[in-house]
Amino acid sequence: MIYSYSDYEHSKQLNADVCVIGSGAGGAVVAYELAASGYSVIIVEEGGFYSTKDYDGKPLNSMKTMWRGAGATVSFGIPSISIPAGKCVGGTTAINSATCFRTPEHVVHQWKQRLQVNLDFKELESYCERVETIINVTKLPWDVLGNCANIVKRGADALGLHCKPLMHNVKNCKGCGTCQFGCVEGAKQSMEVSYIPLALQYNAMLLTHCKAVKILFKGNKAYGVQCVITNEAGEKSTCTVNASVIVCACGSMLTPLLLKHSGVRNKHLGKHLQIHPCSRVVALMDEEVNGWIGVSQGAYIDDYANEGIMLEGIFVHPSILAASLPGVGNDFLQLVQRFNNIAAFGVMVHDTAEGVVSGNMNAPLLWYSMSGRDIETLKKGIAYLSMVFIAAGAKQVFTPLSPFPVLHSMDDVEKLEHAHISRKDIPEVFAFHPLGTCRMAGDSSCGVADSYGKCFNTDNVYIADGSIVPTSLGVNPQITIMTLATKISRHIADTLAHTRCV
């Protein structure tokens, strides 16, 4: 059952075995797994439920409804970094690029060594396989991956690098390239298309436009969640969901703030924010690219992964990409007139810096300053990607670095490689993967949750979203979040079964 605006009238108090707050990568998985295990589940989601009928392929329209703060979530620090997130059923998966990577084994090993996290890689793999089956992780053919992927592959081949197709959670994807603004083909198997409908089949209840504002405790035991509902006119009312288990899955920006506001105390709450800082390189080709046709994130090069660099496709909607092209006046006009010849690809850094989330749930404040090492890594990634484009035949390569706006040759790239770049020289940095703000650890002196996602110093509050992922991964995180959420659900199901027997 789905509750929307007018359905709340007579439902001020609701009861369930489990209340899941947030319907994104973590929350949707927990909701389905526990509903399918026979528990009554209520999902509380601040955003609305959108589907193909609501999408017109225009970025600004989707950003207004589906993106938190209409896309204006940024970090303070130098450079200031745009860190968007979803605010809708499906969470950020509804606006993501559908790229799927398994959790790297060496990263899990580091978590075990550094934070005494008790995770068994083989066990995680079995949960991961379950996730991949449910969301249909698939390899798409090169023609659907688009011309940017083909051009980068050509450059990579010429340099002896390996450009490989990314895996995507899609069914019958035709590559219309609007993944981040709601999949107009309904091909992306994001949570509102996959796990949430499955949870509803098992009688889970979904409360949309309903924001959890406080978890209610008696001592260390939580007994409910206080929520605020906003109707179409913007009027507010309240309801309470009473439950035996509360699962926080609001994402890395908001879960620590909800826990803090609810009285949970832990010195790691909101700390250790890692984000995978990213930027892009744009190339002007002689050939027609028509980069907007095809999957926007089609392929990747991981030859530099041991340097902390992942090169991953990203061709965003022309209305956004055009705005980031260099030049003014006539120069800009001439470049935009050749938009068909523009190719773009991204650089992602496996970061070493850590930031903090503070503020309150209405206005989360993200503080993150890139470390000197990460700036150097990003610069190198930009240089490597520029090399690939030049090897593929690009005549001009536009970087996001203000001292090197345009490169024309391998000599230019070499100069860039040896130049010192400071924080202020990279005005255009984005990040799509906030993680770690309620990290898992062996005990409360190192983290916020145990290896089953249970929040330390509480009896029955669990965390199942990006915030428990202890560090950045070097790869896109949705599969890792869903894998951990599956593990956490199994543990909650076992615990509830045990409680019922006693």
Ligand X SMILES: Cc1cc2nc3c(=O)[nH]c(=O)nc-3n(C[C@H](O)[C@H](O)[C@H](O)COP(=O)(O)OP(=O)(O)OC[C@H]3O[C@@H](n4cnc5c(N)ncnc54)[C@H](O)[C@@H]3O)c2cc1C
Chain contacts with ligand X (rule: CB under 6 A) = 21-27, 44-47, 84-88, 91-93, 95-99, 180, 211-212, 249-252, 254, 258, 297, 361, 432-433, 465-466, 476-478, 481
Nearer to ligand X, 302 or 376 (CB): 302
Please, what's the b/e burial string for 136-163 (b: 16 or more CB within 10 A of its CB; e: otherwise)? Answer: bbbebeeebbbbbbbbbbebbeebebeb
What minimum distance in Å lies between the beta carbon of 293 and ligand X? 19
Min separation Cβ 231 and ligand X, Å: 16
What is the smallest separation between the CB atom of 480 and ligand X, expressed in angstroms? 8
Give the ranges where 406-451 is alpha helix by DSSP (H): 410-418
Closer residue to ligand X (CB): 84 or 270: 84
Distance CA(276)–CA(74), nearest Å, equals 14
Q: Which is nearer to ligand X, 33 or 465 (CB)?
A: 465
What's the closest the beta carbon of residue 46 comes to ligand X, in angstroms? 4
- As given in the structure block, the two tokens for residue 271 are 């700390």
In the complex, minimum distance from the CB of residue 133 to ligand X, in angstroms, rounded to a whole number: 17
Residue 170 and residue 98 in contact, taking contact as beta carbons nearer than 8 Å: yes
79 preceded by cis ω (within 30°)? yes
Q: Please, are residues 117 and 123 in contact by the beta-carbon 8 Å criterion?
A: no
Find all residues with CB under 8 Å of 449, minimum gap 6, and list them: 438, 439, 440, 441, 455, 456, 462, 463, 468
Least distance in angstroms from the C-beta of 323 to ligand X? 16
CB of 139 to ligand X, least distance (A): 15
Burial class (CB in 10 A: 0-12, 13-18, 19+), 444: middle
Q: In the complex, what is the shortest distance from the CB of residue 234 to ligand X, in angstroms, rounded to a whole number?
A: 17
Q: How far is the CB of 94 from ligand X (least distance, A)?
A: 8
478, two tokens: 């949705």
What 3-state class would DSSP assign to 219? Answer: coil
Closer to ligand X by Cβ: residue 241 or 387: 241
Sequential DSSP letters for 359-381: EETTEEEEE----HHHHHHHHHH
Report angle CA 252, 97, 413 to the nearest 5 degrees: 100
Of the pair 95, 385, the CB lying nearest ligand X is at 95
Which is closer to ligand X, CB of 84 or CB of 155?
Answer: 84
Provide the 10 A C-beta neighbour count for residue 365.
15
By beta carbon distance, the residue nearest ligand X is 24
Which lies closer to ligand X via its Cβ, residue 226 or residue 352? Answer: 226
Q: Is 353 left (phi over 0), alpha (psi -120 to 50) or beta?
A: beta
Collapsing DSSP to helix, strand or coil, 32 comes out as helix
User: Judged by CB, which is closer to ligand X: 179, or 496?
Assistant: 179
User: What is the spatial distance between Cα 276 and Cα 349, in angstroms, rounded to a whole number?
Assistant: 5
Burial of 110 (0-12, 13-18, 19+ CB in 10 A): middle
| Cβ-based nearer residue to ligand X, 91 or 355 | 91
Please state the closest distance from residue 475 (CB atom) to ligand X, in A. Answer: 8
**Cβ atoms of 148 and 344 closer than 8 Å:** yes
Amino acid identity for residue 168 in this structure: H
Residues ≥6 apart with Cβ < 8 Å to 499? 244
Nearer to ligand X, 107 or 250 (CB): 250
Write the CA distances from 208 to 62, 193, 211, 216, 398, integer angstroms: 17, 15, 8, 20, 43
Closest distance of CB 461 from ligand X, Å? 14
d(CA 145, CA 147): 7
Residue with smaller CB distance to ligand X, 87 or 379:
87
Nearer to ligand X by Cβ, of 260 and 338: the residue is 260
65: its two tokens: 């409804």
Smallest gap, in angstroms, from Cβ of residue 414 to ligand X?
32
- Residue (of 193, 151, 188) closest to 168 by Cα position: 188
Shortest distance in whole angstroms from residue 191 CB to ligand X = 7
Choice between 96 and 460, CB closer to ligand X: 96
